[in-house]
Amino acid sequence: METNSLPREAALIVNVHSRRGEALFEEAKQKLENAGVRLMMAEAVTDPDKLQASVRQAVQSGAPMVIVGGGDGSLSGTVDELVGKGCVFGVLPLGTANSFARTLGIPLDIDGAIEVIASGRRRRIDLGMIDRDYFVNAASLGLSPMIGRTVPAKLKRYLGRVGYLVWAVKCSVGFRAFRLTIDDGVQEKRMWSTEVRILNGAYHGGVELSDHADVDSGDLVVQAVVGRSHARLAWDWYAKFFKLRDRDAHTEEFRGKSFRIETRPRQRISIDGEVLAATPAMAQVAAGAIDVAVPRQNTV
């Protein structure tokens, strides 16, 4: 595990379509400079489709650290540009769930996140992959992608995680369980499921879902909510949100470096909140793929 100090120069790129991005861009820029981080470039990106190109340009220009402000989807959509480049990934959590920041122990307020970037440390972590697409925290299939694909932007923007919950209730009415096959190359498991989470970190949707997933373990955790009952799925989220003693009663976990995921019928796959793939798919870990800025006292 790396413990090097962080660079004092960086590029700042903020998705101003994230939940709080537009309001906080200027504030973040000023506070970073006040904290002693010299910004080689600072860009507020209004078109999310251009976010990855902006990060690529910053990396190619030689920025030793690229700070991305946005939600988990923004981070996942740009992290590919840092793999194998030796450039540190700085995180400004400006989204709804901010699962990646929670996993890394990064404060969710702008002052706390900037303190990490200015005086934290470098940590080498894994990334997950769905086929050839890297993700920072979690991919999922089942009800979650349906919610992510259809949730109204205003509901997400103004109500945050509560908005997701309201929309989840609506989506669950027409949702059906599916047949799931998980193959780790050694054995094949078949079951009914209502949701599958492919975890590089402990959090998904802002909720801590697994005690066994970690961003520098060298493994992925595949967690399936088993059975055909909607009530089981609702209880699973409720129990994990409130960290009840029996919160794992309706899930089965598999840990390893790669898995073949198949379903019947075919299911869409949400990658860090963005619906970008579908089954069948290969899920695997990219061990030690990037360096990130984390709190100095973070030792997990």
pLDDT tens readout for residues 28-62: 999 999 999 999 999 999 998 999 999 999 999 99
Domain 134-287, second-level architecture: Sandwich (2.60)
**Which of 27-31, 111-115, 229-233 comes out lowest in average pLDDT?**
229-233
188-199 vs 133-135, strand pairing mode = unpaired
Are 206 and 237 a contacting pair, CB within 8 Å?
A: no
Q: What is the pLDDT of residue 175?
A: 81
pLDDT band at 147 (very low <50, low <70, confident <90, very high): low
What confidence tens digit (pLDDT) does each residue in 173-226 have?
A: 678 899 999 999 999 999 999 999 999 999 988 889 999 999 999 999 999 999
Question: Whole-model pTM?
Answer: 0.90
Higher-confidence position of 230 and 3: 230
Written as six digits, the tokens of 19 are: 């939940």
Residue 18 has pLDDT above 90, yes or no: no
Are 243 and 179 a contacting pair, CB within 8 Å?
A: no
281-294 vs 88-93, strand pairing mode = parallel
- Helix (H/G/I), strand (E/B), else coil: 101: helix
- Helix (H/G/I), strand (E/B), else coil: 225: strand
- Whole-number percent of the chain with pLDDT over 90: 73
Residue 20 has pLDDT above 70, yes or no: no
Tell me the backbone φ, ψ of residue 158, rounded to 5 degrees: -95, -25
Higher-confidence position of 273 and 208: 208
Give the separation between CA 224 and CA 145, rounded to whole angstroms.
Answer: 15
Q: What is the pLDDT of residue 297?
A: 80
Give the separation between CA 205 and CA 202, rounded to whole angstroms.
Answer: 10
Task: State which H helix or E strand residue 159 sits in.
Answer: helix 153-159
Q: What is the pLDDT of residue 206?
A: 86
E strands, 71-177, are: 88-93, 121-130, 133-135, 138-142
Residue 1 has pLDDT above 50, yes or no: no
Higher-confidence position of 283 and 156: 283
pLDDT band at 2 (very low <50, low <70, confident <90, very high): very low
What confidence tens digit (pLDDT) does each residue in 80-109 have?
A: 999 999 999 999 999 888 999 999 999 999
Q: Please give the span between the terminal C-alpha atoms of the chain, in angstroms, as a whole number.
A: 10
**Which of 66-70, 126-130, 142-146, 262-266 comes out lowest in average pLDDT?**
142-146
Domain 9-125+290-294 coded CATH 3.40.50.10330: yes
Give the separation between CA 49 and CA 35, rounded to whole angstroms.
Answer: 30
Residue 167 has pLDDT above 90, yes or no: no
Q: Share the mean pLDDT of the chain.
A: 90
Residues of the chain within CATH 2.60.200.40 domain(s) are 134-287
Tokens 């860090």 belong to 272
Residues of the chain within CATH 3.40.50.10330 domain(s) are 9-125+290-294
Closest alpha carbon to 134 in 214, 75, 185, 92:
75
38-45 vs 88-93, strand pairing mode = unpaired
Average pLDDT of the residues in 140-146: 81
